[in-house]
Structures are given as structure tokens and as C-alpha cells.
Amino acid sequence: MSEVHVMDHPLIQHKIGVIRRKDIGSRDFRAMIGEIAAFMCYEATRDLKLQDVEIETPICKTVVKELSGKKMAIVPILRAGIGMVDGILNMIPAAKVGHIGLYRDPETFEPVEYFCKLPADCGEREVFVVDPMLATGGSCSAAIQMLKDKGVKNIRFMCIIAAPEGVARMQEEHPDVDLYIGALDDHLDEHKYIVPGLGDAGDRIFGTK
């Protein structure tokens, strides 16, 4: 069974409280999505492996810690996932970035694929799939299946708000993928929007509605 980490850091909780407000405009919403993603990245990388390396400071030789595990890749689910990328790249500048384009059909709520471009060596990397919203879980599950079909084995998923329905689906369909969640909300409404949620994350980031 996958691990489900719900963030309890006060700064993350505070910022999520701000972006839920309906009167926050795109500029502030986008900036805070990036900040939250950076804080979440910090929490989601706590268990990365380190190795000892001998270096020389201006004073003497010493042993320091260096990341030793797999290289990383960030894969946002378009469009809304793009809003999280820069915040994570600020923390892990060497990560490569792939893109998976999916939108949720408004009638069927099923994900529709329209783009996939991944780093050539994605299969050898630790991949962080990112999307602010996990609602039914259809988009996330489809994106992760696309990665697995291309040979990616080490996958984590990071979202800012999740519904219990999406978490249950991910645990059922991808029990090997650990979930990092900013806030776990109550339920989905009849349009499969997260309640209380924050509305349509993509539209709010890009100002399209």
C-alpha cells in the first residue's frame, strides 16, 4: 500500500487557506501555488539518499553529504501542474522536466490525453508527478500509467488538494506510488469538483475564466 503524506506544516496550511479564497486574482494565486509546491517538495524529499564525499574547504579537508540516489524528473500534468514546476525547480535545479497533457472531459469526467514529452532517460529517474488537484483520480492515474508504460518505476505524486475519492482510486490502481498532499478535503460535488476545494486550478492559474 502506498504511503499517504498529508502536509501539516503551518506555512503550507496558511498558504492553502489563502488560495482557497475566491477573491484571490491569478497573479497572487499563481505565485502562491509555486510557493506551496516548493514547501511541499522540501517535505517530499526528506528520505532522499545521501553519501559522504571528501572535499576541501578553504581551511581543511572534510567530509560532506551529497545526494547519492537516482537523478530526478518533474512531470506536471498540463495545464495546472505547470504552476508547480518553478517552485520545485528552485529546490532541485538539476531536475529534468517532462510534460503530460490531459484534460478532464466535462461530461464523462474521464481524462483525455493530448500531449506527452518526457526526458529520454526518464526510466532511470525518480519522477515527481505534480498537479494541484486530485479529484476523481482519473487524470493522475492515467498519467502514472503512461509513465509506467514507458518504463518508469520510481514515481511519487504531489498535489495541493485531494479528495478522498481520488486517494482511494490511486491506492487501488497504483499502490506503489506514494502520495504527498497539501490538504485532504471532504468530498466531490455533482460536477466532480473538490469541496471545499478552490475551483478550477488551471483556470485560476492562467486566468482563463
Ligand X SMILES: O=c1cc[nH]c(=O)[nH]1
Binding site for ligand X (CB under 6 A): 80, 133, 135, 193-194, 197, 200-202
Rounded distance, CA 116 to CA 135, Å?
Answer: 21
Which of positions 169-188 make contact with Mg ion (CB under 5 A)?
A: none
Asked if 176 is an active-site residue, the reply is no
Q: How many residues bind ligand PRP (CB under 6 A)?
A: 23
Asked if 62 is an active-site residue, the reply is no
Instruction: Flag whether 79 is marked binding.
Output: yes
Q: Cα dihedral angle (54, 60, 64, 68), rounded to 10 degrees?
A: -30
CB of 197 to ligand X, least distance (A): 4
Rounded distance, CA 82 to CA 96, Å?
Answer: 13
Stretch that binds ligand PRP, among 14-22, 114-122, 134-142, 145-153 (CB under 6 A): 134-142
CB of 137 to ligand PRP, least distance (A): 5
Asked if 27 is an active-site residue, the reply is no
Question: For the chain, percent helix, then strand, then coil, each to nearest 5?
Answer: 35, 30, 35
52 burial level (CB within 10 Å; 0-12, 13-18, 19+):
exposed
Asked if 28 is an active-site residue, the reply is no
* Using rule CB under 6 A, residue 200 touches ligand PRP: yes
Instruction: Flag whether 138 is marked binding.
Output: yes
Contacts of 204 by beta carbon, 8 Å cutoff, 6+ apart: 19, 24, 26, 29, 198
Residue ranges at the known binding site? 79, 104, 131-139, 194, 199-201
- Which segments are annotated as binding site for uracil? 194, 199-201
